[in-house]
Amino acid sequence: MTQVENSTRTLSELDARPIEQAQARSFDERDALLDLIVADGLHDATPSNSFRSGMYTDYFDEDMPLMLQVKAVKVYVRGITSSGFDGKVVGDNIVDQYRACFRHVETTLTAAKTSYRRVVNMVIFLTDMDNWEKFNEIFRELVPIPPCRAVIGTTGLALKPLTIEIVDCFAYRVSD
C-alpha cells in the first residue's frame, strides 16, 4: 500500500479509522492522502502497452469512503477554449492555442484549490485531428498524471479560429 511522504499513514490505515478521526487530521495530512487516493483510483484495463501509453488512464475508481475520510470535494471545470475573457483567440498557431487552453484550465483549477495532479477525467474537442501528435506533446507536458480522457474531432467550435475546447474536466480537492 502506498504511503504518504514523510508519514507512516497509508490508505488501508486511513480506511480502518472511524470517519471522525480521519477527518480530524490536519489539512496538510488529508491533502497528501488525497493525492494517494486519486493515484490509487486511476487504472489501466490491461498491463499491455499500446500506442497511447502514457497519455491517459482507462478508468477511475471513485472510492467514496476514502474520499469522505479526507473531506474530498469534486470540482467540475466548465468548457474552456483558448479565447481570452475579451473573446479574442490567444495564440498565433495551434500549439499556442493548445497551451493557452490548458493554461486557462489550470487557472480555473488553481482558483478551485486543486491542480492537474488531481484531474481524473477530461473530454477534449479538436478541430483538426491531423495535429494529434502536437496535442499529445502539449498534453504530456502540462498534465503530469494522465487522467481518463477522450479526444474528439469536430468540424468547428463557437468561434471559427478556435482549434481546441476542453469540454469536460473534473478533479478533486480537500475541503477546508
Cα gap 49→27, rounded to integer Å:
37
Residue 77's beta-bridge partner residues?
A: 169
> Whole domain around residue 103: which residue ranges?
11-174
In a domain, 2, yes or no: no
Encode pLDDT of 71-107 as tens digits. Answer: 999 999 999 999 987 888 888 899 999 999 999 999 9
In a domain, 86, yes or no: yes
Domain count, the chain: 1
Angle among Cα 110, 115, 120 to the nearest 5 degrees reads 135
In a domain, 21, yes or no: yes
Encode pLDDT of 146-172 as tens digits. Answer: 999 999 999 989 888 899 999 999 999
User: H helices then E strands: how many in the chain?
Assistant: 6, 7
In a domain, 54, yes or no: yes
In a domain, 160, yes or no: yes
CATH of the domain at 41: 3.30.1330.40
Cα gap 37→26, rounded to integer Å:
16
